Amino acid sequence: MGFPESLNLFAEIERPKNCDVEYLDYNGEKKLLKAEGLLATCIQHEMDHLEGILFIDYLSKLKKNMIIKNRRLIGYMYST
């Protein structure tokens, strides 16, 4: 769940460096994956997609409002 790249919106998001994922394998057996580093970041990012969470949901109200304001400005600039 992101924004079009043409809007050029970017914000650094802090995430835990590690995460544990419980899942069922192909045979229905419960497994545990202990992920760290880039894999942990990717898993958390994909979970956000599944849960409908946008990156702006992690930002402070001030930063979120700045992005929304910039988005409106960009939309106005492209509509004229």
Q: What is the pLDDT of residues 35-61, one digit of tens each?
A: 999 999 999 999 999 999 988 888 888
What pLDDT does residue 58 have? 87
Averaged pLDDT for residues 15-24: 96
H or E stretch covering 10: none
**Mind listing the domains of the chain with CATH numbers?**
5-79 (3.90.45.10)
Of the candidates 9, 11, 7, 8, the residue with the CA atom closest to the CA atom of residue 59: 11
Percent of the chain clearing pLDDT 70 (strictly above) = 78
**pTM as predicted:** 0.68
In this predicted structure, the answer to whether residue 29 has a pLDDT above a threshold of 90 is yes
Location of structure tokens 């001030």: 62
Active site residues: 46
